Amino acid sequence: MSQPHSPWRIADFRTLFTAAALSELGTNMGYVAIPLIAVAALDASPGQVGALAALGTVAFLLIGLPVGAWVDRMRRRRVMMFADLIRAALIASIPVAWWLDALTLPQLYAVVLLNGCATVFFDVGSQSFLPHLVGREALVSANAAMVSLMATANIAGRSAGGFLIQLVAAPAALVCTAVGYLASGLGLTRIRADGAPTTTGGPERRLRTEIADGLRHVGHTPELRALAATAALTNFGSQLVNVLLPVVFVRELGLPAGALGLYLALGGLGILVGARCARPISGRLGFGRTLGLAGLCLAPAGLLIPLLDRGPWLVVAGLGWFLATAKMGMDNVLGVSLRQRLTPDAMLGRMNATFRCLLTGASAIGAMAAALIGQFAGVHTAIWVGGACLSVGFLPVFCSPIRSLRSLPDGPTRMVAAGTRVLDPQN
């Protein structure tokens, strides 16, 4: 039976969920296939493969903040639809060029960078569209469904991608990615709500001013500031670990690539479990207490990850990774719901873009730190630093006003003067 305020009662949400499932599956297949194309078909060096991976996220740093302001001026369903169609065309160009024997590394670089730009629009538009689509009362349930979807797609999409690449060549497997994006974009046309623009822009509202408003909203709201700090520490720590796991598994421990895949899949399972548990636990313990206790009980498990070794220590490290990612899954559901509830509709795009820019920046810095620490102090030292960051990342939220929240606030806050916040009476 559908519960009150269940997003599954809303046909448009079911359509959005289906489209997002197709898009996420395509994304995760491409995550496996594109680096393999660079190595197998174009004989790319490790540095070139690393550059390819960096180009996939650099778009969030280059255009993330202005995209937030642009999305607030646009119809969000159309933003997502066109982003999907553009991604389908970009990805489809790779197998076409391969079949014509015209594929080059510069083309891969261009496709990955432009695909990342389209993904910025899609992700910011999606997180800004969701509150409009389901209403603020159903945000926790809706976000739990979307985070669970992403975790499942992470496991299934990458596994399916690897299986397809074994059956057919990697460029041919990318056809599935392009079809996924195309089906997602066309599916979004069935959503009746359009996510009308919430700001009009114009000469009197310069883009720079609107971006500054989004930054000020996040920086002057204690709850948002704490969520940003916790998420940035978590992203930084997890990136330090993830970048160097292949070196530890394959080179130092001599384990097969399948063992690394299983270990990473365990993290996807942890995110899925955390996402599914977030709503029922917060209903019993309270919203803020759940976030605080999840951090206090689960985050220290990050210190088990650097114990990675053969034998039973592999199990111990796997347990630490599972618990740490389960905490991330809870954070993704409850933290994103709180962000959306505390932000007026007119500011959603800029708030989400500000968070994505900060968190992607933390991941980029984590990747660079992993390379530097691993090179000069050793791989295990870098993983210890990453595990330590994961273990203390919960502290900004734990020490903030969030811990005292019994439930989500009734409405968003707005700034009326420097350092002053009131509930927005329109929400």
Q: Are residues 212 and 155 in the same domain?
A: no
Give the pLDDT score at 5: 65
Q: Are residues 152 and 285 in the same domain?
A: no
Q: Decide if pLDDT at 203 tops 50.
A: no
Q: Are residues 159 and 137 in the same domain?
A: yes
- Token digits of residue 370: 């992993």
The pTM (predicted TM-score) of the whole model is 0.72
Please give the C-alpha separations between residue 209 and each of 62, 76, 202, in angstroms, as whole numbers.
Answer: 18, 21, 11
Helix (H) or strand (E) holding 372: helix 348-376
Closest CA to 143 of 401, 330, 405, 398: 330
**How confident is the model over 358-398, as pLDDT tens digits?**
888 888 788 778 777 877 888 888 899 999 999 999 999 99
Cβ within 8 Å of residue 326, ≥6 positions away? 270, 271, 273, 274, 277, 298
Q: Are residues 193 and 255 in the same domain?
A: no
Domain of 10, in residue numbers? 1-197
**How confident is the model over 61-106, as pLDDT tens digits?**
888 788 877 887 788 888 889 999 999 999 999 999 988 988 888 9
Tally of domains within the chain:
2
Residue 302 lies in a domain: yes
Q: Decide if pLDDT at 274 tops 50.
A: yes
Chain center to CA of 237? 15
Residue 326 lies in a domain: yes
CB atoms within 10 A of CB 100: 8
Residue 202 lies in a domain: no
Q: Are residues 160 and 213 in the same domain?
A: no
Closest CA to 116 of 217, 46, 190, 30: 30
Q: Are residues 139 and 213 in the same domain?
A: no
Q: Are residues 32 and 168 in the same domain?
A: yes
Last residue of a domain, one of 174, 197, 220: 197
Residue 105 lies in a domain: yes
Give the pLDDT score at 198: 56
Give the integer Cα–Cα distance in Å for 93 and 342: 41
Q: Are residues 293 and 356 in the same domain?
A: yes
Give the integer Cα–Cα distance in Å for 274 and 255: 28
- As a whole number of Å, the end-to-end CA separation of the chain is 28
Q: Are residues 247 and 354 in the same domain?
A: yes
Q: Are residues 256 and 171 in the same domain?
A: no
Which CATH number does the domain housing residue 357 bear?
A: 1.20.1250.20
Q: Are residues 63 and 96 in the same domain?
A: yes
DSSP state of 2: P
